[in-house]
């Protein structure tokens, strides 16, 4: 019982900081997306291609979470992000809201319309931690097996979007795309699904069009908040 109480206390404290983050970003018209996946599903490559396609349309900031190295943030910066910050957890398997709050102090938010948080590669722990995001995206890939929704239902239940990546490899792997979508939608019938290939560009237009609409919708919300104040 003591362990449960401690865990509940930690998560409750995290929720407070997550709400502080929302109160900071929403009035500025910044929408935040928590991107999660297992290792190697292609989160960073997806963000690189997204940034390249949305140059001049949206100011994009990225907070990258990894256990070690700045490799992902370096790649994101090279792709043209307005700002890229690396968080190294030194062993922790997920990001927490206080880490995001600290990273935000290093970002010039005046140039950001859309903020991505690239979480640690893990389909378990990150699903339990609110980072102050507006929505959650889970990325799966054709190279990692089609049983991920069935094995990790909480991740798919708490996400609003699923991106199926590496579509170009579908002819070469034993991966049942219909099965993945069926299982994911059984867990979460409201899940929006995008099928993409970062190598060929298939599906990226639809993904980016949705992101632009998503970001601009929040800008309208921000204007209403400012007017009410």
Q: Do the bridges between strand 135-141 and strand 161-165 make them parallel or antiparallel, or are there none, so unpaired?
A: parallel
How far apart CA 149 and CA 186 sit, in angstroms, is: 9
For each of the chain's 229 residues, which pLDDT tens digit applies? 344 454 567 889 999 999 999 999 999 999 999 999 999 999 999 999 999 999 999 999 999 999 999 999 999 999 999 999 999 999 899 999 999 999 999 999 999 999 999 999 999 999 999 999 999 999 999 999 999 999 999 999 999 999 999 999 999 999 999 999 999 999 999 999 999 999 999 999 999 999 999 998 865 655 554 444 3
Instruction: Report how many domains make up the chain.
Output: 1
pLDDT at res. 119: 98
DSSP annotation of 162: E
As a whole number of Å, the CA-based R_g of the chain is 17
For residue 129, what is the domain's CATH number?
3.40.50.300
Helix or strand run (H / E) with residue 147: none
CA proximity to 101, closest of 7, 22, 175: 22
| Residue 34 phi, psi (nearest 5) | -90, 110
Residue 136 domain boundaries: 2-228
pTM above 0.85, yes or no: yes
């Amino acid at each position: 019982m003591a362990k449960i109480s401690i865990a509940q206390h930690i998560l409750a404290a995290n929720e407070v900081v997550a709400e502080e983050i929302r109160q900071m970003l929403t009035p500025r018209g910044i929408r935040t997306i928590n991107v999660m996946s297992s290792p190697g599903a292609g989160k960073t490559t997806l963000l690189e291609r997204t940034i390249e396609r949305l140059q001049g349309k949206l100011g994009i900031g990225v907070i990258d979470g990894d256990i070690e190295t700045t490799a992902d943030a370096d790649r994101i910066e090279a792709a043209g992000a307005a700002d890229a910050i690396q968080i190294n957890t030194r062993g922790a398997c997920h990001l927490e809201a206080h880490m995001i709050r600290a990273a935000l102090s290093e970002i010039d938010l005046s140039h950001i319309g859309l903020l991505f948080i690239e979480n640690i590669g893990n389909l378990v722990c990150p699903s339990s931690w609110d980072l102050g995001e507006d929505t959650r995206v889970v990325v799966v890939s054709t190279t990692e097996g089609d049983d991920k929704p069935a094995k990790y239902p909480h991740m798919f239940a708490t996400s609003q979007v699923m991106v199926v990546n590496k579509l170009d490899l579908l002819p070469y792997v034993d991966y049942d795309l219909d099965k993945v979508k069926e299982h994911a939608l059984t867990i979460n019938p409201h899940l929006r699904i995008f099928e993409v290939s970062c190598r060929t560009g298939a599906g990226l237009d639809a993904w980016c069009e949705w992101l632009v609409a998503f970001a601009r919708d929040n800008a309208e919300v921000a204007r209403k908040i400012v007017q009410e104040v």
